[in-house]
């Protein structure tokens, strides 16, 4: 019987995170939803703003499936976009605000965005850019409500809309809700496609894992352009929690908002933890505060420092391709008996698949004859690649079937991250994806940096790796070989690179070498450079 | 683009609650999963028991889609069945243990169950039954581990299995996981079909609504044969909480387990609250305890009595057709300012759709010309029928397309319950489904009782309604017209009825009348009888 049993059509409601705002506005219309400086929205106003934006986008020519790009910090408008753009049937493309003009252009062109909405200060560097598909640029207000020009003011955009109700239902839960561009192991950013179903399930998983409720007051220390803020605009809304916007991660601002707005939840890379713990305003909490952290494993040192402030850490792990967190280092009851140091070492592991994810696997480089993947031994020693799959793994790379197929070899998404499986079933990350540096939570493709260094006329060959950095976790370092008879200083190379790509991607150091270690086939042995820079693999991550 | 974007096959993992036990056993193999008297299972053992049962069922001829019936109280075996039966590809039919032999037979025959597993004391009354499809009957052990015969011991059944791992994945999330038989407005029980997807989403909704976590210690005061225990075997497992079995709801036993096992969560009809509050062992809690209640609206009196014990009530509402709870009376922040009495009145409302449900609507009897349903005014006055839809509404009635189509007229499931929509969007139930009495959380079809009364040779005509009862909320009462020249006493009629249907369904009182109030078309005006018995509609429910 099963599938052939009598079924009523239309009974299964397609899953979509739009339902979360629909419900929050229905149940808690008067409840505080968004705080952005002096501007505030109740849930009723939040839903109304999303509805008005959706109408405005449709009136501006946005049709089902059209991409709408945003270049904005954590703001009221960015939260509204997470509901208003898909409510219009559109696809949200939230762009990293730290990218160079050429990179923003690439993302807008590649995604085929019809509209670009952004903050004036972030749009200014794009003055000379000729977009292929963006037909209109819209400027959001500054924190004090000003429009500095020269673009269409956001207020004029939303004036094209109206307040007539729109259905929050979607026809297809597997439709795309957003595309997030990520720097992977190759130079050009890849457009990671999220579906309504995946965003819904990831949001519920996060809500259970982080314990979101109507009492949640969530400080936006995580950029919303990173994996749609780990689906936070949707998951915090699922329980009608309160969003507290933060436009730049500075210690004093964080503490001021934590205290003034009774913040009890936030998320961020370990650098956020460091900023928090080392701020002059840092003080022990007298009420619960939980921070979900990912992007790099938090060191036992920072875990202890945060613990001393009375703050709880939830260590999660994932990638842009997994809607943000895929796994969580869920504490076992038996860990309560461990010393603080031993517990911190376990807490630094990447753990197990979250509730709405599938398992986390670590597999051997060589697949079986039938193409299936082979797990490494669960001995905490044999290294392999971490792979994931399921509802909270992306639908694919936008208009890139080749790299999509490559990423899903064997039916699982290949993270590129190397790790081990401990006997208790918990995964530990041992080595980064070979060609990505994670600096302050940002993915930097070493290949992209290498190409920028190589574009300097005096450089013949180069290898870029991540090296330890106290503040950022890692920073790119370049090993450059100069062309015979040419000269260049470290400063020359770095300033040249900054004309090519975002400043934060530029190497912190350039070391000139006579030649680079290579394999017999000519491939650079980056592991030799890394071993020299880091000592050994385990220290590399846990340091 | 949306649906036509490049998609990797097999990336979306079909939703199934089987994943919850898979994950709990992976993450917390040593954690206490089940307590049933002196017997205990860790999550590793729980998953192993389900795996072994699944193998045993397959070895016993159970194939994909086959029904397996259980007639058991809240026990370890019943919990294992919720995973082991679907793991074998089967469909669980958990039968109300209080039904008469003929009713059990009807359910087994109608569902086409191949196997019946039950407790010896519950199987004994079936000795003379000839089942149409049940090929084998299996007897579970008593609490002290004995098999009293004459059926196949459960231990012999599971000996047919083995421990080789089975995949917890399912091929189709819309496949049927269970069928729950319910007495609706007509005499014969209807088989309500649950899907893997619906059970998964309902479980997650309950986990968020009730705040389940790894620290949850859940006392099984709710029968697992009611809507699969509101999906509790799955949802408590989703966060690796601990199940504490309870075979019969008695005050002393509840308090003994609450104290000894540190119970912090339970569910049940308001009669369970009354039993708890009035037990001699009742005492104020010194740690959190939350009870989700439904089946009848808790009275402000019981809400206050439970509150005085330091116990939190979560008031939910639903039907067998909605996997148990569909809506929750989610407290609004503004209610904190109300008096205790005013707050209790609001808490007794049925509220709003849960996180994974759709909206709760109250609609007029007449649909629009296009067949769509028309909402009543949100004025707390206009009465209409409560309707629901979406992922946590059943797939349909098993092999009953006619009653399925009827129930889903206009695309929404018709609860048969009458209520009003308050201006704040919260629904309040005002009148029960016209032909159902809810007594101690059990649905009793008045039509079924009427047929039993009518089978007494002296009875000419009868109408059965629910009347207020201090202990059970409602009890059926019969208004009987005797045949001319015939005689019968109240006791005669009641004892006759008990030979026909389950004792708990028999009327508590029989009033002999000269004739019944009828409409011009001959339909009995039950509302007149009810008005006489209850006073007015609002008191009827909230009393």
Whether the CB of A541 is below 8 Å from some CB of chain B: the reply is no
Classified as helix, coil or strand, A436 is strand
Nearest residue on chain A to B67, alpha-carbon basis: A1
**pLDDT value at residue B519:** 59
Residue B116: strand, helix, or coil: strand
Please determine, for residue B124, whether its predicted confidence score (pLDDT) is greater than 80: yes
**Over residues A528-533, mean pLDDT:** 79
Q: Sign (positive/negative) of CA torsion A47, A48, A53, A56?
A: positive
**Total number of residues shown for chain A:** 543
b/e sequence B45-70, b meaning 16+ C-beta within 10 Å? bbbbbbbbbbbbbbebebeebbbbbb
| Dihedral over Cα of A31, A36, A39, A41: its sign | negative
Q: Using a CB-CB distance cutoff of 8 angstroms, which residues of chain B are in contact with residue A393?
A: 11
pLDDT at A386 over 60: yes
- CA B114, CA B118: separation in Å to the nearest integer? 13
Q: What is the pLDDT of residues B47-59, one digit of tens each?
A: 999 999 999 999 9
Q: Rounded to an integer, what distance in angstroms lies between the CA atom of residue A241 and that of residue A126?
A: 36
Q: Do A2 and B393 touch (CB under 8 A)?
A: no
Residue B33 C-alpha, separation from nearest chain A C-alpha, in angstroms: 13
Q: Is the pLDDT of residue A188 over 80?
A: yes
d(C-alpha A141, C-alpha A119), whole Å = 7
Q: Which residues of A touch B27 (CB under 8 A)?
A: 330, 332, 352, 425
| B442 band by pLDDT with thresholds 50, 70 and 90 | confident
Dist CA B288 CA B312 (whole Å) = 8
Confirm or reject contact between B294 and chain A (CB < 8 A): no
- Contact check, Cβ <8 Å, B3/A197: no
What's the mean pLDDT in B162-173? Answer: 96
Q: Is the pLDDT of residue A5 over 70?
A: no
Confidence band (pLDDT; 50, 70, 90) for A520? low
Question: In chain A, what residues touch B42 (CB-CB under 8 Å)?
Answer: none
Mean pLDDT of chain A: 90
Find the closest chain A residue to B177 by CA distance.
A2
CA separation for the pair A95, A292 (Å, rounded): 22
Residue B123 Cα distances to B56, B67, B69, B70, B151, angstroms: 21, 18, 12, 10, 9
Q: How far apart are CA A228 and CA A249, in angstroms?
A: 17
Query: How many other CB atoms are there within 10 angstroms of residue A4's CB atom?
Result: 8
Average pLDDT score, chain B: 90
Q: Which residues of B touch A197 (CB under 8 A)?
A: 12
Gyration radius from chain A CA atoms: 23
- A chain contacts of residue B30, beta-carbon cutoff 8 Å: 332-334
pLDDT band (50, 70, 90) for residue B2: very low
- With CA atoms as reference, report the closest residue to A193 among A78, A72, A92: A92
Distance from CA of A19 to the nearest CA of B (A): 8
The answer to whether B86 touches B110, Cβ cutoff 8 Å, is: no
Q: How confident is the model at residue A6 (pLDDT cuts 50, 70, 90)?
A: very low
The answer to whether the beta carbons of residues A429 and A258 sit under 8 Å apart is: no
Task: Residue A316: list chain B partners with CB under 8 A.
Answer: none
State the nearest Cα–Cα gap between B408 and chain A, in angstroms. 8
Of A2, A22, A395, the CB nearest to B5: A395
Which one of B4, B8, B18 makes the best mutation probe of the A interface by having the most chain A beta carbons within 10 Å? Answer: B8
Most A CBs within 10 A among B5, B23, B375, hence the mutation to make, goes to B5
- In whole angstroms, what is the distance from residue B483 CA to residue A177 CA? 69
pLDDT tens-digit profile of B512-522? 998 888 755 55
Q: Would you state the pLDDT for residue A184? A: 54
Taking only Cα atoms into account, the Rg of chain B, rounded to an integer number of angstroms, comes to 23
pLDDT digit string, tens, across residues B367-390: 999 989 999 999 998 888 999 999
Tokens coding B38: 């002196």
pLDDT at residue A64 is higher than 50: yes
Chain B interface, mutation test: which of A23, A65, A359, most B Cβ atoms within 10 Å? Answer: A23
In total, the C-beta contacts within 8 angstroms joining chain A to chain B are 168
At residue A517 the predicted structure's pLDDT band, cuts being 50, 70 and 90, is confident
Contacts of A45 (CB under 8 A, 6+ apart): A33
- CA distances to A45, B271, B282, B404 from B263, rounded to whole Å, are 41, 19, 14, 39
Segment A263-313, tens digit of pLDDT: 999 998 877 888 898 899 999 999 999 999 986 667 667 787 898 999 999
Say whether pLDDT at B184 is over 80: no
Closest CA–CA distance from residue B273 to any residue of chain A (Å): 25
DSSP string, A34-48: EEETTEEEEHHHHHH
Question: Strands, DSSP E only, in B141-296?
Answer: 152-153, 176-182, 190-195, 217-219, 242-244, 265-268, 290-293
Task: Give the three-class secondary structure for B429.
Answer: strand
B433 CB burial (10 A radius; 0-12, 13-18, 19+): buried
Rounded Cα distance, B20 and B240, in Å: 8
Q: What is the pLDDT of residue A180?
A: 97
Least confident segment among A137-146, A289-298, B81-90: A289-298
Phi-psi region of A119 (alpha: psi -120 to 50; beta: other; left: phi over 0): beta
DSSP A160-180: T----------S-TTSEEEEE
Give contacts of A 415-454 with B, CB under 8 A: 425
B52 CA to chain A: closest CA distance, Å? 22
Nearest CA in chain A to B28: A332
The answer to whether residue B199 scores a pLDDT higher than 50 is yes
A91: nearest CA in chain B? B2
A530: which residues sit within 8 A by CB, 6+ positions away? A465, A466, A540
Task: Tell me the nearest-neighbour CA distance from B255 into chain A, angstroms.
Answer: 26
Question: Which of B23, B358, B404 is nearest residue A13 as measured by Cβ atoms?
Answer: B358
Inter-chain touch A174–B7, beta carbons under 8 Å: yes
A408:B91 CB<8 A: no
DSSP result, B292-316: EE-SSPPPHHHHHHHHHTT-EEEEE
Name the residue among B2, B23, B399 with its Cβ closest to that of A353.
B23
Whether the CB of A410 is below 8 Å from some CB of chain B: the reply is no
3-state SS assignment for residue B406: helix
Extract the tokens encoding A330. Answer: 């869920």
**Contact list, A173 vs chain B (CB under 8 Å):** none
- Closest by Cα among B223, B295, B267, B270 to B71: B223
> Phi first, then psi: what are they for B524, rounded to 5°?
-70, 135
Question: Which of A205-209, A267-271, A539-543: highest mean pLDDT?
Answer: A205-209
Return the residue in A3, A4, A5 with the most chain B beta carbons within 10 A, the one to mutate for interface testing. A5
Listed residue (B387, B388, B385, B405) closest to B396, CA to CA: B405
Contact B31 A333 (CB under 8 A): yes
Vertex A278, ends A277 and A282: CA angle to 5°? Answer: 60
Closest CA to B180 of B120, B238, B226, B119: B226
**Cβ contact A313:A268 at 8 Å:** no
B2–A contact, CB cutoff 8 A: yes
Cβ proximity of A492 and A460 under 8 Å: no
In this predicted structure, the answer to whether residue B17 has a pLDDT above a threshold of 70 is: yes
And the tokens for B13? 């993992």
Q: Which residues of B touch A213 (CB under 8 A)?
A: 211
Let me know: does A213 contact A239? Beta carbons within 8 Å: yes
Residues 39-98 of B with CB under 8 A from A: 64-65, 91
* pLDDT of res. A1: 33
pLDDT, greater one: A378 or A382: A378
**For A425, which of B27, B174, B352 is closest by C-beta distance?**
B27
Cα–Cα distance for residue pair A423/B524, rounded to 1 Å: 69
Contact A355 B404 (CB under 8 A): no
| Tokens linked to B7 | 């998609």
Q: List, in sequence order, the alpha helices (H) in B247-385.
A: 251-260, 270-278, 300-308, 340-347
pLDDT tens string A405-439: 999 999 999 998 888 999 999 999 876 665 678 88
- Residue contact B425–A26, C-beta within 8 A: yes
Helices (H), A261-362: 270-278, 300-308, 340-347
Find the range with the poorest average confidence among B124-128, B341-345, B399-403, B496-500: B341-345
A197 at interface of B, judged by CB pairs closer than 8 A: yes
Eight-state DSSP code of residue A114: S
Please determine, for residue A4, whether its predicted confidence score (pLDDT) is greater than 50.
no
Residues 22-41, chain A, touching B (beta carbon < 8 A): 22-23, 26-31
CA distance B432 to chain A (A): 24
Identify all chain A residues contacting B111, using CB atoms and an 8 Å cutoff: none
Phi, psi of A198 (to 5 degrees): -65, -40
Are A1 and B65 in contact (CB < 8 Å)? yes
Q: Give the pLDDT mean for B348-364.
A: 94
Asked whether the predicted pLDDT for residue B7 surpasses 50, the reply is: no
**Chain centre to alpha carbon of residue B349:** 19
Grouping H, G, I as helix, E, B as strand and the rest as coil, residue A285 is coil
Residue A59 forms beta bridges with which residues?
none
Q: What is the ipTM of this complex?
A: 0.85
Distances, alpha carbon A45 to alpha carbons A30, A36, A237, A362, B376, in Å: 8, 14, 13, 46, 25
**How far away is chain B from the Cα of A510, in angstroms, using its nearest Cα?**
40
Q: Do B389 and A13 touch (CB under 8 A)?
A: yes
Q: Which residues of A touch B19 (CB under 8 A)?
A: 358
pLDDT tens, B304-333? 789 899 999 999 999 999 999 999 999 988
Please tell me the predicted confidence (pLDDT) of residue B4.
Answer: 35
Angstrom distance (rounded) from CA A110 to CA A100: 15
> Which of A230-244, A376-390, B266-280 is predicted least confidently?
B266-280
The residue among A418 and B426 whose pLDDT is bigger is B426
Nearest to B45 by CA among B24, B68, B16, B62: B24
Which of B15, B16, B18, B23 to substitute to test the interface with A, most A CBs within 10 Å? B23
Cβ distance B11 to A334 less than 8 Å, yes or no, reads: no
pLDDT greater than 70 at residue B523: no
**A92 bridge partner residues:** A68, A178
Can you list the alpha helix ranges (DSSP code H) found in B501-536? 526-534
Give the integer Cα–Cα distance in Å for B6 and B301.
Answer: 59
């Amino acid at each position: 019987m099963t599938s052939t049993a009598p079924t009523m059509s239309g009974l299964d409601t397609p899953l979509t995170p739009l339902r979360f705002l629909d419900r929050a506005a229905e149940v808690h219309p008067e409840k505080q939803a968004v705080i952005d400086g002096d501007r505030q929205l109740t849930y009723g106003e939040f839903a109304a703003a999303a509805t008005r934006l959706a109408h405005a986008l449709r009136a501006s020519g946005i049709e089902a499936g059209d991409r709408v790009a945003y270049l904005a910090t954590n703001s009221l408008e960015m939260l509204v976009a997470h509901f208003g753009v898909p409510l219009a049937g559109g696809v949200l493309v939230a762009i990293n605000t730290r990218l160079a003009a050429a990179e923003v252009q690439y993302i807008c062109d590649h995604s085929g965005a019809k509209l670009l909405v952004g903050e004036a200060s972030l749009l200014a560097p794009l003055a000379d850019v000729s977009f292929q598909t963006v037909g209109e640029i819209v400027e959001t207000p500054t924190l004090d409500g000003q429009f500095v020009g020269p673009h269409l003011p956001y207020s004029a955009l939303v004036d094209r809309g109206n307040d007539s109700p729109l259905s929050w239902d979607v026809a297809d839960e597997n439709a795309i809700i957003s595309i997030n561009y990520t720097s992977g192991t190759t130079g050009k950013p890849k457009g990671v496609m999220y579906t309504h179903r995946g965003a819904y399930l990831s949001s519920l998983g996060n809500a259970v894992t982080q314990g979101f409720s109507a009492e949640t007051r969530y400080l936006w220390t995580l950029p919303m352009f990173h994996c749609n803020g780990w689906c936070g605009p949707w998951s915090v809304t699922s329980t009608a929690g309160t969003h507290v916007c933060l436009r730049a991660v500075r210690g004093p601002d964080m503490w001021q908002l934590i205290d003034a707005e009774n913040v009890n939840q936030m998320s961020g890379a370990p650098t956020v933890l460091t900023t928090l713990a080392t701020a002059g305003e840092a003080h022990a909490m007298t009420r619960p505060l939980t921070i979900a952290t990912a992007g790099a494993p938090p060191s036992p040192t920072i875990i202890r420092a945060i613990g001393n402030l009375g703050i709880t850490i939830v260590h999660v792990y994932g990638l842009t391709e997994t809607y943000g967190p895929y796994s969580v280092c869920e504490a076992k009851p038996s860990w309560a008996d461990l010393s603080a140091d031993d517990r911190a070492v376990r807490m630094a592991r990447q753990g197990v698949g979250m509730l709405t994810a599938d398992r986390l696997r670590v597999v051997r480089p060589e697949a079986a004859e039938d193409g299936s993947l082979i797990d490494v031994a669960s001995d905490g020693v044999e290294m392999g690649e971490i792979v994931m799959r399921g509802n909270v793994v992306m639908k694919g790379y936008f208009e890139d079937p080749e790299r999509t197929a490559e990423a899903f070899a064997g039916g699982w998404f290949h993270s590129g991250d190397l790790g081990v499986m401990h006997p208790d079933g918990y995964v530990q990350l041992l080595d980064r994806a070979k060609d990505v540096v994670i600096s302050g939570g940002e993915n930097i493709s070493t290949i992209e940096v290498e190409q920028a260094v190589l574009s300097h006329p005096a450089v013949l060959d180069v290898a870029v790796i991540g090296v330890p950095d106290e503040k950022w976790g890692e920073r790119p370092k370049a090993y450059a070989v100069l062309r015979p008879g040419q000269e260049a200083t470290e400063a020359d190379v770095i300033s040249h690179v900054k004309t090519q790509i975002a400043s934060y991607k530029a190497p912190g150091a350039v070391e000139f070498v006579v030649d680079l270690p290579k394999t017999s086939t000519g491939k650079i042995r980056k592991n030799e450079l890394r071993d020299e820079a880091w000592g050994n693999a385990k220290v590399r991550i846990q340091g």
